[in-house]
Chains A and B, each alone.
Chain A
Amino acid sequence: MTEMPSSRRSAFQVLTGVFSLPAGARLGAGPTIAALVLALIVLASICAPLYVPYDPLAMDAMSRLRPPSDEFLLGTDPYGRDIFSRVMTGGRVSLLIGIGAAIVSVAVGLVIGLLAGFFRAADGIIMRIMDSLMAIPAILLAIALVALNGPSLSSVIIAITIPEVPRVVRLVRSVVLSAREEPYVEAAIALGSSMPKILIQHLMPNTLAPLIVQGTYICASAILIEAILSFLGAGVSTEIPTWGNIMAEGRSYFQIKPGLIFWPGLLLSLCILCINLLGDTARDLLDPRMKKREG
């Protein structure tokens, strides 16, 4: 996208910059609560096997679509499986997908981005390819990819990751490009530091802050995309409950059994909400000027 002529920070901006606290500091309770809620959800999901009353896969034809009761906390689904057990267990996989996607895409994007940012030769080609990838709507690409290697957990993660990588690459690249103009990098050149050394020791650290932020966003959107994939019939196998495919299975029961969408939906939304909030806070704290969240 277009680079803007960036105006030098004037005395005034420095002045205000000096005196105003980082935005995060004033968000107050928000992030704290978010962190707590998230921690709670994560913990609950991880520990799910310890406390859920039923095997999330155990079906009972005789007790299908039961209403919430002492026996089934949130009732049962069309297979007579305990919704509570499924939702709590589903959280693990959804979170796994989110975190997995985030880590993979950040890692891959970082490497490619550094190369693109520093080696002019590689830059052109890499960015063309990235542009192309970005031009393909993520969902369509993901569906195709899932169709490609079957709806296994790993392939879903890959399918979600690939469309995200270009955004990370762009981010890393732009950071590198601006950082390499910094006098301290030129000084390093003058001091005879080798390119790889400069790349790793001087430039890479600059990308970490934005990457952490980007990572949280990817994590959030990955969880969301997983749900949408399941909804479109290209999600994780129903044998592995995720918030996404629980909702997908429940879609046609929306009116007679809203719980099937509501509960996983609620947890999923809460979870993403918190992750996003924390992401914003992290962004404000780590790098107030990083505002671009590549669509």
Chain B
Amino acid sequence: MFGYILKRLLATIPVLLIVAVFVFLLLRLTPGDPAAILAGDAATPAQLERIRDRLGLNDPLLVQFVTWFGQMLKGDLGTSLISNTDVVDMVSDRLGPTINIALMTIVISVLLAVPMGVIAAWRHRTWIDFAVMSFSVLGFSVPVFVIGYILIQIFAIELRWVPVQGYASPSDGIGAFFSRAILPSLTLATIYVALIARMTRASMLEVLGEDYIRTARAKGVRENVVLFRHALRNAAVPILTIIGTGFALLISGVVVTESVFNIPGIGRLTVDAILARDYPVIQAMILLTAGIYVLVNLIVDVSYSFFDPRIRY
């Protein structure tokens, strides 16, 4: 088991390395010059050149990469070209909101989606099934920000139940946190629910066709027990898988949601950084998100064995 985890952790190293190289090259090829951004309107070419030198933007790519990578291994992600602040601080400040929203979203999604999927599969080809499926397809079909705006319009502006925007960390009080986190989470949840519900249904349908389900029924087991004790656990693995891979979707969603609801999370940080060509920040963020993604999926894989004894590492 631990051997396996170790193995997997090692396996992530090349992945992250490739990501690092990829992102690094991508950025260096991107037009956009932090020096020009720093220098501002009145800058002369000479000044630009001096600033580029200072930022080390004139060194050969390889040199730049090695220096950056070396520092990164030492846990030093550099300092933002634009704001001149330490990237690690920036990120750690911004991580909280995103993680919290993401967690809340996942919890909401799973609580909603799994029962939806199970019922849809159980009542296969009935109106319930149709309703669930339509909803989930709809979830894929509406842009996140549109959903966001609609929710704001209804709950914040018309009903005034919750604030229009902003974020409060749970340490400022649960109430404050929830009132601000609920709309973003719901916004994000729509697509995630759709995804998980679909997969749950599909997976359950497959499982419900299995022999051991028939066996259970032949034993005179009650239907709810058949669904949740016998079927769901067997259907779990693909569901977990989708929760894992869907995490990428979640991150993408976060980027949008954060700018709709004005949440100071890593999503906005990254987009701003990209638009401002703030290389160290972009590199750090993409590596971080990639790392998180890989980690989440590792956790997912490991959790398989908890649901399915046949899977042992």
A259 to chain B, nearest CB (A): 13
Question: Knowing A2-B311, A144-B282 touch, does A137 contact B14 (C-beta < 8 A)?
Answer: no
Residues of B within 8 A of A7 (CB): 210-211
B78 to chain A, nearest CB (A): 18
A and B contact pairs by CB, cutoff 8 A, 26 listed: A10-B211, A129-B18, A132-B14, A132-B15, A135-B291, A136-B289, A137-B286, A139-B256, A140-B286, A143-B271, A144-B26, A144-B282, A147-B31, A148-B30, A150-B31, A220-B140, A232-B255, A234-B274, A247-B146, A251-B145, A265-B146, A291-B205, A293-B242, A295-B195, A295-B242, A295-B247
Docked complex Cα distance between A144 and B138 (Å) = 28
State whether B209 touches A280 (Cβ < 8 A): no
State whether A140 touches B274 (Cβ < 8 A): yes
- Residues of A at under 8 Å CB distance from B? 1-2, 4-5, 7, 10, 12-13, 16, 23, 26, 30, 128-129, 131-141, 143-145, 147-148, 150, 220-221, 224, 227-228, 231-234, 247, 251, 254-255, 261, 265, 268-270, 272-273, 276-277, 280, 289, 291-295
The answer to whether the Cβ of B118 comes within 8 Å of any Cβ in the partner chain is no
B226-261 vs A: 1/0 string, CB under 8 Å?
Answer: 000000000001100110111111011001100100
Docked complex Cα distance between A75 and B122 (Å) = 47
Residues of B within 8 A of A261 (CB): 146, 149
B140-166 vs A: 1/0 string, CB under 8 Å?
Answer: 111111100100010001000000000
Interface residue stretch chosen among B68-76, B107-115, B196-204: B196-204
State whether A140 touches B255 (Cβ < 8 A): yes
Residues of A within 8 A of B140 (CB): 220-221, 224, 272, 276
Nearest-neighbor residue (CB-CB) of A150 within chain B: B31
**How many pairs of residues, A versus B, come closer than 8 Å at their CB atoms?**
179
Nearest-neighbor residue (CB-CB) of B149 within chain A: A254
Residues of A within 8 A of B19 (CB): 132, 135-136
**Count of chain B residues with a beta carbon within 8 Å of a chain A beta carbon:** 72
B113 to chain A, nearest CB (A): 13
Nearest-neighbor residue (CB-CB) of A270 within chain B: B141
Docked complex Cα distance between A30 and B260 (Å) = 34
The answer to whether the Cβ of B120 comes within 8 Å of any Cβ in the partner chain is no
Residues of A within 8 A of B38 (CB): none
State whether A136 touches B23 (Cβ < 8 A): yes
B203 to chain A, nearest CB (A): 7
State whether A295 touches B249 (Cβ < 8 A): yes
Other-chain residue from B22, B30, B247, B308 in contact with A132 (beta carbon distance below 8 A): B22
Docked complex Cα distance between A137 and B247 (Å) = 9
Docked complex Cα distance between A220 and B246 (Å) = 16
State whether B198 touches A293 (Cβ < 8 A): yes
The answer to whether the Cβ of B133 comes within 8 Å of any Cβ in the partner chain is yes
Residues of A within 8 A of B175 (CB): none
A interface, over-half SS:
helix
A71 to chain B, nearest CB (A): 27
State whether B290 touches A135 (Cβ < 8 A): yes
Residues of A within 8 A of B252 (CB): 137-140, 228
B interface, over-half SS:
helix
The answer to whether the Cβ of B125 comes within 8 Å of any Cβ in the partner chain is yes
State whether B246 touches A137 (Cβ < 8 A): no
Residues of A within 8 A of B22 (CB): 132-133, 136
Residues of A within 8 A of B209 (CB): 13, 16
State whether B149 touches A140 (Cβ < 8 A): no
Other-chain residue from B30, B238, B259, B301 in contact with A291 (beta carbon distance below 8 A): B238
Docked complex Cα distance between A143 and B289 (Å) = 15
The answer to whether the Cβ of B270 comes within 8 Å of any Cβ in the partner chain is yes
Residues of B within 8 A of A231 (CB): 143, 145, 256
Question: Knowing A128-B14, A131-B15, A247-B143 touch, does A147 contact B246 (C-beta < 8 A)?
Answer: no
State whether A137 touches B293 (Cβ < 8 A): yes
Other-chain residue from A132, A220, A234, A268 in contact with B290 (beta carbon distance below 8 A): A132
State whether A136 touches B286 (Cβ < 8 A): yes
Residues of A within 8 A of B256 (CB): 139, 228, 231-232
Residues of A within 8 A of B195 (CB): 293, 295
Docked complex Cα distance between A233 and B271 (Å) = 9
State whether A12 touches B211 (Cβ < 8 A): yes
Nearest-neighbor residue (CB-CB) of B308 within chain A: A4
State whether B245 touches A294 (Cβ < 8 A): yes
Residues of A within 8 A of B249 (CB): 138, 295
Question: Knowing A224-B143, A269-B142 touch, does A137 contact B245 (C-beta < 8 A)?
Answer: no
Residues of B within 8 A of A269 (CB): 138, 141-143, 146
State whether A144 touches B27 (Cβ < 8 A): yes
The answer to whether the Cβ of B275 comes within 8 Å of any Cβ in the partner chain is yes
State whether A132 touches B210 (Cβ < 8 A): no
A6 to chain B, nearest CB (A): 10
Most buried by A among B146, B149, B198, B310: B146
Docked complex Cα distance between A39 and B29 (Å) = 41
Residues of A within 8 A of B203 (CB): 291
B17 to chain A, nearest CB (A): 8
A265 to chain B, nearest CB (A): 5
Other-chain residue from A2, A140, A295 in contact with B289 (beta carbon distance below 8 A): A140
